[in-house]
Amino acid sequence: MATPLIAVLDYGIGNLRSAQKALEKVGADARLTSDAAVVRAADATVLPGVGNFGACMSALRASGLSDLVYERVECGKPFLGICVGMQMLFESSEESPDVAGLGVIRGAVRYLPDTVKRPQMQWNRLHIRCADDVFAGLPAEPWMYFVHSLHCVPVDSSRVVATTSYGCEVAAAVRQENVIAVQFHPEKSATDGLTLLRNFVTTVRA
């Protein structure tokens, strides 16, 4: 597979195009799309997200793409969640307690401690817990760019493959079979972020 087709889900909220452009830069045919046929034809799927959990979930469901998320996860092809796109994969969020998440990963999204400034809007180091293809070639503690007020707490802590420290231990990346999800913005994280996206594209190509 020379140039894998990656569908970046376009549900009409936030700056979703930056993820698409970064994936193109590292060698993917990345398409920002809400077309079910394109999503189903893709070799991988990306769910980005910025802003409020409830607003993102409502927009995703209104777009009709939420059912496609389940379909793409269940088909076994690579799936990447970014920032609020990671949070939406969980069951619930304290930010919008009346709005159900997708529940792909069991667990909840909770506010960062009130002992630190929220949101965390800064570069921070990853502490990689275990080997994963997306971390290939990265430094032992790569720097990534974070913008978030909440963090994901999976029921199964073994799902967490990288953490960062900000008032508490924060799940920076989780892995569940074909799903990898990250709290930081790889598309805004310079060389290390592009390396992670390139690694994702490499796994898709494989």
* The two three-digit tokens of residue 206, written as one number: 């494989």
Query: CA 197 → CA 62, 85, 148, 206, distances in Å?
Result: 28, 15, 20, 14
Instruction: Give yes or no: 83 in active site.
Output: yes
- Which residue in the list 56, 83, 95, 151 is annotated as catalytic? 83
Selection from 176, 35, 203 nearest residue 102 by Cα: 176
Q: Which of 56, 148, 152, 185 is flagged as catalytic?
A: 185
Q: Among candidates 19, 17, 10, 1, which has minimal Cα distance to 182?
A: 19
Catalytic residue check, 187: yes
Residue 65 near residue 33, CB atoms below 8 Å = no
Concatenated DSSP letters of 47-108: E---S-HHHHHHHHHHHT-HHHHHHHHHTT--EEEETHHHHTTSSEETTSTTS----SSSEE
Query: What are the CA-CA distances from residue 30 to residues 10, 42, 134 (Å)?
Result: 12, 9, 18
Catalytic residue among 56, 148, 152, 187: 187
Active site amino acids: 83, 185, 187
